Amino acid sequence: MAMIQKKEFYNIKCDCCGQMIDEQFWDEPEAVECMLDECNWKATEDGKHYCDDCWEYDDDDNIITKDGHKYTEDGEEIKA
């Protein structure tokens, strides 16, 4: 008789479009977080993640996301 075991895996999903950062899942959250810079994704102080298609810099070098948020380069949200 087979035994069912529960195991957690990690990935990061874009908070704007829902795209996953990678096709595979990782055993440790730190492993997938290391991919953020490599894949040109942005992580914010409020825990959001944005893929490279869902953010850009404005004229003041702030991060503008396609879902209407504005962040500093350090990931702190700028409230209007």
pLDDT per position as a tens digit, 46-55: 999 999 999 9
What DSSP line would sit under 64-78, residue for residue? Answer: EETTS-EE-TTS-B-
Write down the pTM of the prediction: 0.85
CB 67 within 8 A of CB 15: yes
Q: Tell me the pLDDT of the chain (80 aa) as tens digits.
A: 788 988 888 999 999 999 999 888 888 888 889 999 999 999 999 999 999 999 999 999 999 999 999 999 999 999 87
